Chains A and B, each alone.
Chain A
Amino acid sequence: MKKKNTNTSRNIALTIIAVLAVLFLISIASAANQLLCLQKGEKVLFSECNPAIEDRTCGSDFGCPYCISFSSTGAHCPASINVCNSQGLSCTFLNGSDADFDIEPPNITLISPLQDEIYTSRSLPFTIDVTELSDIYYFDNLKTNARWTRICSHCSSYDRRRSFVEGLNDITIRASDALDNTAFLNVSFFVDSKKPRISKTEPRSGFASGDFFTEIQEENPSLLVLHYGNLLNGMRTHSLDVPNDCTPGNRGRSSCSASVDLSDFDGQVIDYWFNLTDIAGNTVVSRSVDVDVDTTFPVINSLNFSQDGRRVRFILNVTELNFDEANYIDNSEINPREKSLCSRLRNGVCEKLVSFRTGAHNLTITVLDEAGNAVAQAVNFVV
């Protein structure tokens, strides 16, 4: 009888131990996985499980369920959602001490385009990294009626080519995480995809006195250089001061002029050309042109005139090897205009008979050579 009681007690004890063991195992099993339901703003730090895993922040008003397991250090690790489904797990919430609310905006790293960089193509890689999953937008600060353009949603990076406008670009990038913690980043850069052009140079041929002219097509010129000279006296350069030496014209064209001293080259033939560089480093060189240099001014040896009624005969004796023309302007006219006297010399003489209205006349007679050198004299008479 006593033995039977002993066996009964032993059975009861074994049963209790077995039940406790089962309960212990159940508690371990239930603790192995959890359906962690984050509330809006809460963050689960998966990176503590494995640094390669991004933390997740809940941005939904309805909460965000994650099936998790625990690492050996107690960190939250992602688990297959099927495991939680199969275990019929209900929501477990983060304790206050475990809850990590995200109040930090994402950190934006702009890899391309870079601040103050000058690009030669309108199509640029637009490469952005953010430190947490975000919606990424950009805003063109220089565009009228601009709007925020979303380039990716719920992403941690963006890397695609986008087209930007020619010239200055000023862009604001916005990254908003799931909780609308928002970060902004401004970047301005320059796009100069059009190559510079030199559409005209003067003198085209013939003679040069030291005055040069060019017409350029470039919205962002940085350097305009005149190269001139010959093998005899050497080549020289003259840098133009683009803002002062150039005058903007139509359709993006600018007229630029330069004056250099060619006295060393007087009577010689020189080559000249212009070299234009824009701010992006694109360069264009104009065609090389040969010109004769003439820096000697014409000399009016004598200027005589005689009146016959309203007609006046002018006789100019001129010394000039490269004579171009002699003309006059009657400054007494209401609208003074340049009128030709001679376009050639006969034995160094220009003779011309001109009719004038009655009254006093105040003439300026000018003699020019092919290089543009000019000399003038005033003549007054009354008809």
Chain B
Amino acid sequence: MKKTLTLFVLSLMVLAVLPTVLAVSSGIGIGVDIETEDFPPQVWMCDHRVVYDDNTEPGRLFQTDGINNCTGRSYSGDEDGESDCQLLERTNNYAFEGEQISWTVLVFDKNGVEKIKDVYITAGASQSGEDGSPEDIEANCQLIGMPNRETRDSCNARILEEQVGIVDAVEDGIAQFYKCLLTVETPESMYGEYWVTVEAEDLDGLFGNMDENEYWFFNPIVALSIEGDLAFSNVRPGTASYSDTLLVGNDADAGSGVMLDMFISGTDFYDSSNSGAKCPTTNQLALKNFRYFATNGAYSTSGDLEIGRAGLGVPGPDAGDDSTVSLRDKDAEGYVDIGYGIGFNNPTPFYDGFEIIQAGLVGPYYAANTLAPGAEMALTFKLSLPEPCNGDFDTGAIWFWGEAI
């Protein structure tokens, strides 16, 4: 009986399942075709570009990023090849061989960061994508982690009107940050004006580039121009005479925007002939007898701040005991004396002492002392010839120096 009951229950269970199986076999399948958009990668610049020094002469305004010190001669960059000396002073877009330009960019791809094939810097004669042809790839970008909030907020990442939630995008795997570092090559391969931008390419061959194309002048020629004539003829001892006015100009490439910080130095003068010179005590005309008046726009040495050169007294037998306390000095006419120097910062650092005009101090720079390409300063020299004085002093030099800011 028990066996019979068991068989009965099992039979009922089979019958109970049977209608369900029959119902499945009577359904209709609907095919679904889903095509995902091939989303072209988007690139946004975060914060602003940073220029790094070439580890030679950082100028006056810089910021040390890493462990090496910009100011010493020991800085040679880290082993990562990245200079740590930020050129805060480089306000115009020009750069020399070895200098580096850095951008932090956010690359966004709705297909996922795994689809991002390459992120790189291009430089060329036209804006990227402007004429349909890709520009030359100069450097690859490096994947980095999430930067600080300030940098993230500066990316201005938008798709049409929609603000991209950067943190969520990075966590969802559709965006990541890159650091792009372009090192300026030699003038053989890089000279002139270039459009520079960052581009991203995905595995589908789609491109996106940073909207903020930048226009740079690489390896501009920097030169000084001097026009005029500096000669003092038939000067009577014990009197002051004035030269014609010289023009000292920034002869850098037009369009380069290279700003020059200008300096002046000199040496004593000697008579190369055997004329029995003496002026006033020996056969030497001391540099301290020369002064100059300079104008640059609204600025002139009449407003000179007379900063620096403390302790750089004029050597020589006529200098007397004051030789060790001489300062940059402006006379009643606005003429400034000249410091000794046979090389840049040689023997004394030039900053705050050897500028041609010390006026209009803005940060560490004197606005009066900078020249834009094509701009000129006018300098008039005054020679106060000692008495007694004899000889033709034709050996020696007054040097003009320029430093690219």
Contact = CB atoms under 8 A, between A and B. Distances in A.
A56 B401 CA distance: 19
A49, A53, A154 interface centre (most CB from chain B within 10 Å)? A53
A178 B230 CA distance: 19
Contacts of A154: 225, 251, 374
B41 interface: no
Contact of B225 (A53, A64, A71, A78): A64
Contact of A49 (B188, B222, B346): B188
Interface stretch (A81-89, A295-303, A306-314, A335-343): A81-89
Given A52-B191, A53-B191, A85-B403, A80 B186 contact: no
A84 B374 CA distance: 22
B221 interface: yes
B208 interface: no
A52 B189 CA distance: 10
A173 to B, nearest CB: 20
Contact of B57 (A60, A71, A86): A86
Given A60-B226, A64-B225, A71-B186, A85 B191 contact: no
Contact of B97 (A66, A69, A86): A69
A50 interface: yes
Contacts of A89: 343
B224, B254, B345 interface centre (most CB from chain A within 10 Å)? B224
Contacts of A318: none
Contacts of A155: 254
B200 interface: no
A167 interface: no
A288 interface: no
Contacts of A83: 54, 56-57, 96
B218 to A, nearest CB: 11
B223 A56 contact: yes
A45 interface: no
A80 B56 contact: yes
B325 interface: no
A368 B188 CA distance: 92
A293 interface: no
A77 B187 contact: yes
Contacts of A77: 186-188, 219
A62 B225 CA distance: 9
B334 interface: no
B212 interface: no
B99, B187, B189, B220 interface centre (most CB from chain A within 10 Å)? B187
Given A49-B188, A52-B192, A82 B223 contact: no
A36 B221 CA distance: 13
Contact of B345 (A56, A81, A88): A88
A155 to B, nearest CB: 8
B188 A80 contact: no
Contact of B221 (A46, A60, A71, A86): A46
A78 B221 contact: yes
A79 interface: yes
Contacts of A84: 344
Interface string B351-386: 000000000000000000000001000000000000
B321 interface: no
B56 A86 contact: yes
Contact of B222 (A52, A67, A90): A67
Given A50-B188, A86-B344, A89-B343, A78 B226 contact: no
Nearest to A79: B97
B322 to A, nearest CB: 28
A80 B344 CA distance: 14
A80 B343 contact: no
A65 interface: yes
Interface string A264-277: 00000000000000
B345 A85 contact: yes
B404 interface: yes
Contacts of B206: none
A56 B254 CA distance: 13
Interface in B40-76: 54, 56-57, 59
Interface in B185-208: 186-189, 191-192
Contacts of A65: 223-224
B402 interface: yes
Interface in B81-140: 96-97, 99
B191 A80 contact: no
A50 B56 contact: no
A372 to B, nearest CB: 70
A88 B225 CA distance: 20
A61 interface: yes
Given A84-B344, A86-B57, 16 more contacts: A49-B188, A50-B187, A50-B188, A53-B192, A53-B221, A64-B225, A69-B97, A78-B187, A78-B219, A79-B96, A80-B57, A80-B96, A80-B222, A82-B57, A83-B57, A88-B345
Interface of A: 46, 49-50, 52-53, 56, 60-62, 64-67, 69, 71-72, 77-90, 154-155
6 contacts: A46-B187, A49-B191, A56-B223, A65-B223, A69-B97, A85-B403
